[in-house]
Amino acid sequence: MEKGQDILRLDAGEPDFDTPKPIIDAAKKALDDGFTRYTPIGGLPSLKEAIRQKLRRDNNLYYDSDEILHTCGAKQALFNACMTLLNPTDEIVIPTPNWGTYPSLAIMAWARMVEAPTRYEDRFILQPEVLEACLTEQTRIVILNTPNNPTGQVYSREELSALGNVLLKYPDVFILSDDIYEHLNYTDEPYANILNVCPSLKNRTVLINGVSKAYAMTGWRVGFAAGPVDLITEMEKFQGQSTSHTAAVAQKAAEAAFNGGLDDVHNMVKVFRERANLVAEGLSRIDKIDFHPAQGGFYCLPNFERVIESLDGVEDDQQLGDWLLEELGIAMVPGSAFNAPGHMRLSFAADNKTLEKGLDRLHKAFG
């Protein structure tokens, strides 16, 4: 890397937008109104009502307040569910490539992770026959994530329905539907999760969501789980002996986000969609890189295997990550972090100038 060359950060895992002002104003008012003390472990009643209304309005799904648990980010909702459901002899099925936290959930619960591999040729979409081959008498949890981190792909209703038809045959298996990128959907189809296409799975599905990605509130740490009342009750007990709850002021901010409409979200999505197109156009000019255009989230997972083969002294994607940083001044996350060796996760949570410069450097090096 040349001395003084700038580093282009294409590795971010959070939106590069500020939290919308109405949400910040609501938090300030909450502080003035005295929301500085403990809250119920499950969350402020007003927050739980806002989540109930969000699920009805955005997802056409109906939950009672005792079927909802607020958490310290969506990550804790996943953790609570796994620690509540899993025993050491149980298995958790995780489609790969996968977000890096999922395998850790299995490790912490002393359960066994079963990889359900997806293929580039299938847009990294889990195929029903692959899912079925992974399911055994020991299977306790299947995780589904759409829009997907790290692939940027979105499951269609038909693809979810095919998976749902398999899961219907295994009544002891719970589904964790990680919907955190829900609103960052650039396809022509409305967003759908597994319950929108297979509502009969509701008694063993936990929806995982929050405000981090759609509302640019990663630092506020507010997520939620919605699921069967008996399971949510046990998850709340577990949370009560760990973090108790997130800050009261953060809960009021999340309440304002859910109650405040989606105008700011739609404005952010418009920008991300434009960036996804910019990235797709730029990558399409590079012969040695294969990719699927991002359909959601703010990630793309290009295949760099031919690039790796062309570089002396670079044997894998981790070494490629070092090479890109040292030689081109580009920071990306190696695909091995997501069980996707030979790939690199490119984040377009960066401004157009940064993306254009990064794509230009890649094109000059490999085009």
Give the whole-angstrom CA distance, residue 185 versus residue 272: 9
Q: Collapsing DSSP states into helix, strand and coil, what is residue 171? A: coil
Give the whole-angstrom CA distance, residue 256 versus residue 247: 15
Residue 321 has pLDDT above 60, yes or no: yes
Phi-psi map region of 124: left, alpha, beta (phi>0 left; psi -120 to 50 alpha): left
Structure tokens at 252: 């009021």
Residue 184 has pLDDT above 80, yes or no: yes
Instruction: Say what the pLDDT of residue 2 is.
Output: 58
Residue 126 has pLDDT above 80, yes or no: yes
The DSSP-derived string for 256-323 is: HHHHS-SHHHHHHHHHHHHHHHHHHHHHTT-TT-B-----BTTEE--B-HHHHHHSTT--SHHHHHHH
Structure tokens at 283: 């990558």
Structure tokens at 195: 């319950």
Backbone angles phi and psi of 10, in degrees to 5 = -115, 35
pLDDT band at 1 (very low <50, low <70, confident <90, very high): low
Give the whole-angstrom CA distance, residue 261 versus residue 266: 10
Give the whole-angstrom CA distance, residue 243 versus residue 289: 44
Amino acid symbol at 262:
L
Do residues 105 and 79 make contact, with C-beta atoms less than 8 angstroms apart?
yes
Share of the chain above pLDDT 70, in %: 99
Give the whole-angstrom CA distance, residue 177 versus residue 199: 13
Give the whole-angstrom CA distance, residue 93 versus residue 140: 8
Do residues 332 and 321 make contact, with C-beta atoms less than 8 angstroms apart?
yes
Helices (H), the chain: 21-32, 45-59, 73-85, 101-108, 128-134, 157-167, 194-197, 229-240, 248-259, 263-283, 305-310, 317-323, 352-366
What integer is the mean pLDDT of 316-342?
A: 97
Mean residue pLDDT of the chain comes to 97
* Closest alpha carbon to 101 in 78, 73, 81: 78
Instruction: Summarize the chain as % helix, strand, coil (round to 5).
Output: 45, 15, 40
197-231 pLDDT per residue, tens: 999 999 999 999 999 999 999 999 999 999 999 99
For residue 134, give every residue at least 6 positions away whose Cβ sits within 8 Å of its Cβ, in sequence order, or none. 93, 114, 115, 116
Structure tokens at 72: 């310290």
Residues in the chain: 367
Do residues 221 and 77 make contact, with C-beta atoms less than 8 angstroms apart?
no
Domains of the chain: 8-16+263-366 (3.90.1150.10), 22-259 (3.40.640.10)
Do residues 296 and 147 make contact, with C-beta atoms less than 8 angstroms apart?
yes
Do residues 349 and 298 make contact, with C-beta atoms less than 8 angstroms apart?
yes
Q: How much is the pTM?
A: 0.96
Backbone angles phi and psi of 356, in degrees to 5 = -60, -40
Do residues 82 and 141 make contact, with C-beta atoms less than 8 angstroms apart?
yes
Instruction: Say what the pLDDT of residue 306 is.
Output: 97
What integer is the mean pLDDT of 90-111?
A: 97
Residue 186 has pLDDT above 60, yes or no: yes
pLDDT band at 367 (very low <50, low <70, confident <90, very high): confident
pLDDT band at 3 (very low <50, low <70, confident <90, very high): low
